[in-house]
Amino acid sequence: MWGRNVYDSISKFLQFQLTVNIVAVIVAFTGACITQDSPLKAVQMLWVNLIMDTFASLALATEPPTEALLLRKPYGRNKPLISRTMMKNILGHAVYQLTLIFTLLFV
Q: In whole angstroms, how far apart are CA 6 and each of 10, 37, 59, 80, 102? A: 6, 41, 10, 15, 35
Confidence label for 86 from pLDDT (cuts 50, 70 and 90): very high
Task: Give 19-69 pLDDT, tens digit per residue.
Answer: 988 998 898 888 888 888 777 788 888 888 888 888 777 777 778 888 888
Q: How many CB atoms lie within 10 A of CB 30?
A: 15
* Cα–Cα distance for residue pair 44/41, rounded to 1 Å: 5
Task: Give 18-32 pLDDT, tens digit per residue.
Answer: 998 899 889 888 888
pLDDT value, residue 88: 96
